[in-house]
Amino acid sequence: MEQRILGKTGRPVSTIGLGTWQLGADWGSVTEEDAFAVLEASVEGGVTFFDTADVYGDGRSEQFIGRFLRAHPDLNITVATKMGRRVDQVHENYTLKNFREWTDRSRRNLQQDTLDLVQLHCPPTSVYSNDEVYDALDTLVSEGAIRNYGVSVERTDEALEAIKRGNTASVQIILNAFRLKPLDEVLPAAKEANVGIIARVPLASGLLSGKYAPDTEFPEDDHRNYNRDGSSFDVGETFSGVDFATGVKAAQEFSGLVPDGVSTAQAALAWVIAQDGVTSVIPGARSASQAAANAEAGGLQSVGADLAGGVRDIYDSYFREAIHPRW
């Protein structure tokens, strides 16, 4: 699989990474056995980048990764985690004291003395422009708790603010065939500033797998059930903020663009990594077979490039008016 340098970290990472929100069991039940099978299948497929967060299963995802890497000490895996969502989302909580506590907990969970990359996990918008926050993050680097830091964002304006900061190594942002706004300004700005782009929610919470119907139901503990209205966290995290029924129609149209021998999900991932400025895309997986299929998309960049015109047409027809101004 192709390796790209993750911004100012200087570390090579696979174009297809692994997002591990699912391993925290926030998408329905995932057993310990299945979690380790997902990690194993990803590595076998060439994945060298894991993304997690301290809030995924309240540390469950981080702990699985830590145990897995301890059992496979020869692997060269870059692990990115995130912090900040385990407390009330107010600016005042983003302090050096809390940062130290949060990173110490993640270091224990991941069994790492120094964390490869820590990202602020979609904090209040005012945090991205606060000098003291970046000073605190620089302090964590100087103390050896973390090697690099970045941000995970909901909106493009938040990404652009973080990119201005000289030591921001990466920006994680929702980017998929149904969310095109980052292509306008964020990707060019990040490329110019040597900031890595980690594309999250690349399948629009599964819509771009092409497997859903208007009457598809999700478990009660799955955010695709309980957060469709944004009552638990930003609605853009669930189906990329698009109306589910509309998303199903658009996904069916997207599936019609996909060549034979390639799954709809693989084509959607290939489209993301074909975008200039993207470093890695981080689909999740609940099974080893899903993880293996995702990794295979790393060799399909030309397929993704061929979808450019069709993706733009679908976005303009179904989503641009409704969501482009929002995120």
> Total structural domains in the chain?
1
Percent with pLDDT over 70 in the chain: 99
The helix (run of H) or strand (run of E) holding residue 265 is helix 264-273
Q: Does 115 have pLDDT greater than 90?
A: yes
Helix, strand or coil for residue 108?
helix
> Can you give the CATH number for the domain in which 205 is found?
3.20.20.100
Q: Which residue has the higher pLDDT, 28 or 103?
A: 103
| Band of pLDDT at residue 228, cut at 50, 70 and 90 | very high
pLDDT for res 264: 98
Helix, strand or coil for residue 264?
helix
| Band of pLDDT at residue 223, cut at 50, 70 and 90 | confident
pLDDT for res 26: 62
- For 119-146, what is the mean pLDDT? 98
Q: CA-CA distance, 57 to 59, in Å (whole number)? A: 5
Average pLDDT, the chain: 96
pLDDT for res 287: 93
| Band of pLDDT at residue 215, cut at 50, 70 and 90 | very high
Domain that holds residue 292: 3-324
pLDDT tens string 245-285: 999 999 999 999 999 999 999 999 999 999 999 999 999 99
Structure tokens at 327: 């995120």
pLDDT tens string 149-168: 999 999 999 999 999 999 99
Q: CA-CA distance, 104 to 120, in Å (whole number)? A: 15
| Residue (of 204, 140, 195, 127) closest to 167 by Cα position | 195
pLDDT for res 27: 60
| Band of pLDDT at residue 29, cut at 50, 70 and 90 | confident
pLDDT for res 311: 98
122: Cα separation from own chain's centroid: 11
pLDDT for res 118: 98
Q: CA-CA distance, 26 to 319, in Å (whole number)? A: 26
Structure tokens at 73: 């000490």
Long-range contacts of 231-236 (CB under 8 A, 24+ apart): 234/122, 234/154, 236/154, 236/174, 236/179, 236/323, 236/326, 236/327
Phi and psi based region of residue 230 (left: phi greater than 0; alpha: psi -120 to 50; beta: remaining):
left
pLDDT for res 34: 93
- For 193-221, what is the mean pLDDT? 95
Helix, strand or coil for residue 250?
helix
Q: CA-CA distance, 161 to 130, in Å (whole number)? A: 10
pLDDT for res 30: 83
| Band of pLDDT at residue 100, cut at 50, 70 and 90 | very high
pLDDT tens string 55-86: 999 999 999 999 999 999 999 999 999 999 99
Structure tokens at 37: 């099978």
